[in-house]
Structure 1
Amino acid sequence: MKKTLLATAIAGALGVTAAAQAATVYDQDGTRLDINGRIAMGISGGGHQDVQPGEDKAGGTEFRDVYSRLGISMSHQIDPALRAFGRVEWRFKGDERDQSGGFAEVRHSFIGLESTQFGTVMAGNFDSFYSSRVMSPFDVYIDRGYEFAAGEGSDLQARGDSIGYITPNLQGFQAFLMAKHYTGNGLPETGEDRSSVLNVQGGVTYQWEGLRLAAGFVQDRDDNALSARGTRHRYDSRDLRGVDENIYGATVSYAFNDQFSARLGYETQDTNDSAIDAGGAVEDYSGFSTWGLGATYSLGQLAFNADVYRVRPDNEENRTAWALGSYYKLSNNFDVFAELHRADQGDITVSTADGVSVDENSDNLFWLLGARYHF
């Protein structure tokens, strides 16, 4: 198998550097404990701007943290065919003093069992299987440029109160199933249904030589329990609930050699016409379809990404987004990067002080320069 198949997401060049540089704190009698993480700093500017009167300024030049994190991984080999594992990972802001406790987010916290015969089961707070196993060939950018997974990426019906199962590798085939639970407990009584909600996602992958195929779905329910919890999983982020139509996606990636790989992807969600006919807002229940085409080229310590998307929201104008990235490893622990992203969101109409409506460009070119130290 061509080793750069895993590098479609720059994993070979950058993405797994943290794991590869993990410090083993304890490793004895089948029990292991590793600590790893990264400190990342950068300067960014541009992108979508909130230019309406009264809104916070956005899009200006900013010195910033670029997703620094600290993680602990643990495992125990119960027997030759069964392994228990766990991980907890925190995000912290590394660019400025933080007197609120230091850590900004518990990014991951899960436990699981991995069997060579029966597969892997895990529970807790982890990434969407749909995003990490189906759409992952396009998740190659450190910040912006990933237009799939309904704009939510690893948060899509995931990150907390979840359980998942992955089959063993069966001659290149693997299937997965995952469910996220939203409890109705603690919600105020309003006369509406406060039952618990279970959103399911699943799919299958196939890998042979340099070829990788993947397809899957995610339930995206419209339910009061999700809305009251403030769950953000809509395509355009304007509604806290789902469209109540499934999201479907598929990707094809191929590593031509150890330096060059290409990827093609498609994702879609139907418009919920019945909800709109019942009085629901069009912008809240509209679906979309998105095509993506991209490539990764790596040469030693240097790697490049290039991707273009055609995004077709049902209730808005079509747009063509693109992203570029360049990454250079000075050492196994230290890399520098540069990324560009144009979402092509077009102009928005704003009112001036004298009441005249004008169109202003709310979508400048986003850019990011930075460096990361992995440990």
Structure 2
Amino acid sequence: MKKTILAIAIPALFASAANAAVIYDKDGTSFDVYGRVQANYYGEHDDADGELVGSSRLGWSGKVALNDTWSGIAKTEWQVSAENSDNKFNSRHIYVGLDGSQYGKIIFGQTDTAFYDALEATDIFNEWGDVGNFYDGRQEGQIIYSNSFGGFSGKLSYQTNDDVAVKVTDVGQGVKEDEVFGPDVKRNYGFAAAAGYDFDFGLGLDAGYSTSELENKTTNDKGNKDEWAVGAHYAINGFYFAGMYTQGKIDNDNTGWDGKGRGYELAASYNVDAWTFLAGYNFTEAKNNTTSTSYEDQVDETLLGVQYNFTSKFKAYTEYKIQGIDDRDDEWTVALQYNF
């Protein structure tokens, strides 16, 4: 689902993009800067020791008209950690491309794959959520084409060779690639596709598929990770509801080892004046034929949240994560966030 539709349903959650500072906008050329600064206090149930953590995010986007139809576009966005944190700058989106209006958009670089379009509708929390799936996260080296017509939207993405597949997520949040392929795994290529349709009365439907070829650089064992997802969302009178179901699988063609997972996410929000109330549930289960023969729960989380917007640029929120797996503690956070 498109962020513009989400912003209508739950406007308080996307303040930073909406409040981007326009540095230059003239004769078809524009340049915007945006970002946020926030401080979170994190705690766990029955644990008196909490932690106050600061973080910030900074990005810019540019556009220049080439003719009446085509424009050159670019975007960068970084997550900036606090002084004593590791990985001070983490790149989120870095791409350049062409916007052809009715002919669609094509970009080159690092961002979310097309598969994320099938997951986006349930990704509405400030802090947690979005873990009832097996998505690899933002990837570098991509070529992405997207277009929309009426209520239809579609996207295709292709990822070139990535010598270190560091962002490949575990199927089921617990079935490791090294259990299937051994250590030192690279991605030879990746492909994803997504399609959606938004009805005029607030209902939207989404579906996506992703596949990538993985290879152990030492043994040359090869195989694939495949996943698919379907979802729906509905917005009416300040209420928003979304659900998603997905399955994923990793196969090693040389050894016959594999890992399988399935999961789903539910999310809801209600927005009234400056207040937004959120609730959600994430669940995944997984198995691999090297250590288990039956599915085991990997994620079982109930999420609750409240957000208050002092202005369009400044907000406070609190979220609570209730763990359904016995050996994991409940978690909570309280935060202040400034957007520009």
* One-letter code aligned to 1:214: D
Structure 1 residues 226 and 365: CA distance shift in structure 2, 3 A = farther
Secondary structure at the aligned position of 1:182 is classed as coil
Secondary structure at the aligned position of 1:287 is classed as strand
* One-letter code aligned to 1:208: F
Alignment RMSD (CA, Å) = 3.2
Secondary structure at the aligned position of 1:290 is classed as strand
TM-score norm. by structure 2 comes to 0.81
* One-letter code aligned to 2:243: L
**Are positions 1:134 and 2:118 aligned together?**
yes
* One-letter code aligned to 2:19: Q
**Are positions 1:39 and 2:37 aligned together?**
yes
**Are positions 1:214 and 2:174 aligned together?**
no
**Are positions 1:112 and 2:97 aligned together?**
yes
1:296 is aligned, of 269, 288, 293, to 269
Could you tell me how far apart the structure 2 residues matched to 1:21 and 1:297 are?
A: 22
Q: Which residue of 1 aligns with 2:173?
A: none
Given that 2:132 and 2:284 are in contact with CA atoms closer than 8 Å, whether structure 1 keeps it comes out as: no
* One-letter code aligned to 1:176: K
Alignment of 1:269-348 (within 5 A): 269-270=248-249, 272=251, 278=255, 280=257, 285-314=258-287, 315=292, 316-318=295-297, 320-346=300-326
Given that 2:133 and 2:264 are in contact with CA atoms closer than 8 Å, whether structure 1 keeps it comes out as: no
Structure 1 residues 245 and 36: CA distance shift in structure 2, 3 A = closer
2:68 is aligned, of 67, 80, 92, to 80
Given that 2:132 and 2:283 are in contact with CA atoms closer than 8 Å, whether structure 1 keeps it comes out as: no
Structure 1 residues 26 and 343: CA distance shift in structure 2, 3 A = same
**Are positions 1:13 and 2:8 aligned together?**
no
Structure 1 residues 135 and 59: CA distance shift in structure 2, 3 A = farther
* One-letter code aligned to 1:29: D
* One-letter code aligned to 1:43: Y
Could you tell me how far apart the structure 1 residues matched to 2:208 and 2:279 are?
A: 24
Given that 1:9 and 1:137 are in contact with CA atoms closer than 8 Å, whether structure 2 keeps it comes out as: no
Given that 2:133 and 2:284 are in contact with CA atoms closer than 8 Å, whether structure 1 keeps it comes out as: no
* One-letter code aligned to 1:212: G
2:50 is aligned, of 43, 51, 61, to 61
TM-score norm. by structure 1 comes to 0.74
Q: Deviations over 1:22-70 (max 9, x none)?
A: 21211222111111111011111238xxxxxxxxxx995211125x111
* One-letter code aligned to 1:162: Q
**Are positions 1:371 and 2:326 aligned together?**
no
Could you tell me how far apart the structure 2 residues matched to 1:144 and 1:6 are?
A: 17
Alignment of 1:226-245 (within 5 A): 244-245=224-225
Could you tell me how far apart the structure 2 residues matched to 1:9 and 1:59 are?
A: 37
State the 1:9 CA deviation: 7.5
State the 1:373 CA deviation: 0.6
Could you tell me how far apart the structure 1 residues matched to 2:224 and 2:40 are?
A: 38
State the 1:83 CA deviation: 2.1
Q: Which residue of 1 aligns with 2:78?
A: 90
* One-letter code aligned to 1:90: W
Which aligned segments of 4 or more residues in structure 1 are displaced greater than 3 angstroms? 7-10, 225-228, 270-275
1:203 is aligned, of 159, 175, 194, to 194
Please, which runs of 5 or more residues in structure 1 have no aligned partner?
A: 48-57, 186-193, 229-240, 347-360
Could you tell me how far apart the structure 1 residues matched to 2:155 and 2:146 are?
A: 4
Secondary structure at the aligned position of 1:144 is classed as coil
Please, which runs of 5 or more residues in structure 2 have no aligned partner?
A: 165-184
Given that 1:8 and 1:140 are in contact with CA atoms closer than 8 Å, whether structure 2 keeps it comes out as: no
* One-letter code aligned to 1:124: G
Secondary structure at the aligned position of 2:121 is classed as helix
Given that 1:264 and 1:292 are in contact with CA atoms closer than 8 Å, whether structure 2 keeps it comes out as: yes
Q: Which residue of 1 aligns with 2:181?
A: none
Could you tell me how far apart the structure 1 residues matched to 2:60 and 2:115 are?
A: 24
Q: Which residue of 1 aligns with 2:21?
A: 23
State the 1:184 CA deviation: 5.1
Aligned length: 310
